[in-house]
A and B are shown apart, each in its own frame.
Chain A
Amino acid sequence: MACSFGRFGYFSAFDSAIRIVRGAMFFEYFPQVCTQCVDAFCARACPTGAFQRKGNIVDYNKLRCILCRQCLLACPWGFIYPDIDLQYMIKCDLCGGDPECVRVCFNDAIEYVEVADVSNTKYRGNVARAKGERK
């Protein structure tokens, strides 16, 4: 909600760059959001260069996008979505370093941290969770 509102100025659960997937268990949820890969698959796949690595983020330029949706297929995580009217793609750009979602999250479940190695951090997080430490 905060995401779509910060981005587009309206409230929508679908046009959000962060999505929550329900797990099989009661009260199990997985938030899904772009990891801003260094060597980004979407950038490699994009024929027009709408996706480009810029500084810390992978930037999406709506004007260049021709809606071929190669990025959607290329992303190994499945973190890029078309918007609801199928006019452009939606991907997290960290709101320029001050993400709206972090601002509204009270439980500090979302933090803004810069990590060099996503898979390793995730892995460590999973181990910590498996040990029963709540994050």
Chain B
Amino acid sequence: MDEKFDVIVVGAGPAGTACAYELAKAGLKVIMFERGEYPGSKNVMGGVLYRKQMEEIIPEFWKEAPLERPVVEQRFWMMDEESMVTMGYKGLEWAKEPYNNFTVLRAKFDQWFAQKAVEQGALLINETVVEACIVEDNRVVGVRTDRPDGDVYADVVVLADGVNSLLAKQLGFHKEWRPDEVALAVMEVLKLPSEKIEDRFNLEPDQGCTIEMFGDVTKGILGTAFLYTNKESVNIGVGTTLSGLMKAKIRPYDLLEYVKNHPMVKPLLEGNESQEYAAHLIPEGGYNSIPKIVGNGVVVVGDAAHLVNAIHREGSNMAMASGRMAAETIITAREVNDFSENMLDSYRVRLMDSFVGQDLKKYKDTTHTFEHHPQYFKEYIPMLNRAAGQMFTVDGTPKKQKQKEILRSMTENRGKLGVLQDLYRAWKVMK
């Protein structure tokens, strides 16, 4: 094909679309490829979309974007088999503009967002798989698609092809992710009438809540389960490190069934109708796993660049932020007509200086630590449950004696020093 573009974006998820949007807005000639029938057709996430990074691209997007519910309450459940200790925050300031964050269904949201990029002038080509980057003289100069007459050329190629990023792997930017660098998440969308959702989760119409679950729901494997409310459905899922699953020999969908049937969860789902089931990897290796993300004529953004904060389940926002920063760099590079790795590297620098790089750095050892010290999930959460159970059971035992017994049982396994070490270690990686 003879036509040449300024930029080719591969993948119309949050990262690619954010990038294409900014580039097209600045007047660049952009073509974006998506292998799905339409953007979002196969994309999944738990469903929390963060306002801030979206707003930086489209101000007041909540007035027109297909959102489910603004989140007014975030709950955290520390679960044992038949009990839980809970914590949370509910604030009605989050129910008003400008809101805090929203639940979304990606199939609708991605399609809308990509359409916005098209309105800015980006060309969206669906149902087309990019099979390889075209490399000439150690420079990426275009891509090869699976279509007849399917080569297309550009000054820069943006790889926004998601966690597996076969294209970045082909370029030698990263190897196959190790099982402890990725989480395998399975989730289901369950249909429920809105009145039931509002009753069961104590919400007004137009309010939503998120529940993060730890402990028994992952059978002690490092990971979390989640339950988020949409308008007329809930998203329920569980994600654990692939290495943990392999070690425990548990099938991911069996784990999801376990979560759905947990006595603390089951009543909330009563009478649902399953709508959709999906499994997806999440890049959770953090800072230490970020691969090479810049080359001559090429940059990598979003999940493909391993930009997920597993502790705060932030991924889509980092994807958007990285897409936007890549666009800004490309726009500058174009002014001097220099698309070398050297020039494009200012994207990486910008990214690492931003909240994306800083947050990933802050938590760089967290998942690793928890993976290597399973006592946090396996022992402390049940312990916490027992402690709370004992403390709140009125059985005539003086409270002081209860406290003593709790303390004794807590230090029984690891000793006082061990517990202190564990606490210090946890504080160090989270601080």
Indicate, yes or no, whether A interacts with B. no
Which B residues fall within an 8 A CB radius of A?
A: none
Interface residues of A (CB under 8 A from B): none
